[in-house]
Amino acid sequence: MRLEAITWERLTDALAARVLDAGADDGSPWLRVAVDGAPAARPGVPAEALAGALRLRGRSVLVVGTGGFLRPASLRYEYGRHDPDAYYDGWFDTGALWREVFGPVEPGGTGRVLPDLWDPATDRATRSPRVELPPGGVLLVHGPLLLGHWFPFDLTVHLRLSPAALRRRTAEDEQWTLPAFERYESEVGPADAADVLVRADDPRHPAWAPRQS
C-alpha cells in the first residue's frame, strides 16, 4: 500500500471533506465515524480536530471516547491487572456501546446518545445526561480496538504504529497491553480493514493512504 506524506492539518481537512460527501450505508440520518488507534497513537486528538473542522462546516458532531465505556474494575481485573487477553476481550463494554451509542443513531433511532457510562478513576457510573444529535449529525467514536466488532461505522480511520513505534511510545506501565495489539493486528488486520490508513510512527510527520469510497 502506498502512503503519502501529509500534515495533520491537511489530513483533517481531507477527512472532513470525505465525511461531508459520505452517506450512511444503512440509510440512517446520522453518519458514524471511527478513529481507531492504540492509546499511544492518541486517537482522541485527531478525532477532536476532525470534530472541530466539521463544526466549522456546519455539521453537528458528538465525540465519544471508548475510555468512558470501560467495564467495572471487578470485571476488568478478574484475571489480574496485566492480562492482555482480558484487555482485548473484556475491558471495553461493547454491549453498552451498541445499546447506548450506536442504537440511538440507527435508522429510526432517537439520536439521544449517552456520551459515557463509567468513570475508571472512581470506578462508578458517570450519570452523564444523554446528548441529542440532530439528524444529519456525525457521531465520532475514538479509541483502541474499535474494528472487528461489527459496529455500524460508515467511515473508519486507523492510526497505525509499527511494532517498534508502538513499543517506544507506550508508557512503561502499559507495556503489558502490547500482546493485545499484536493479536488485533493478526485477527482483525485494521490497516487493511479501515477506509483510511494513517501511519503515525513519527507524530510530527504522518502519512496516509485513503481507499476509494
Q: Which amino acid is it at 62?
A: L
Give the model confidence (pLDDT) of 5-56 as tens digits: 999 999 999 999 999 999 998 999 999 999 999 999 999 999 999 999 999 9
The three cell numbers locating residue 185: 493486528
Residue 160: what are its φ and ψ, rounded to 5°? -100, 135
Whether the predicted pLDDT of 200 surpasses 70: yes
Whether the predicted pLDDT of 213 surpasses 80: no
Task: Give the contacts of 91 (CB within 8 A, at least 6 positions apart).
Answer: 70, 71, 76
Mean of pLDDT over the chain: 95
Give which of 53, 56, 32, 46 is closest to 137, Cα–Cα. Answer: 32
What pLDDT shows up at residue 211? 76
What pLDDT shows up at residue 212? 61
* DSSP H/E element including 210: strand 207-210
Task: Give the contacts of 42 (CB within 8 A, at least 6 positions apart).
Answer: 159, 203
pTM, rounded to two decimals: 0.95
What pLDDT shows up at residue 210? 83
Give the model confidence (pLDDT) of 131-160 as tens digits: 999 999 999 999 999 998 999 999 999 999
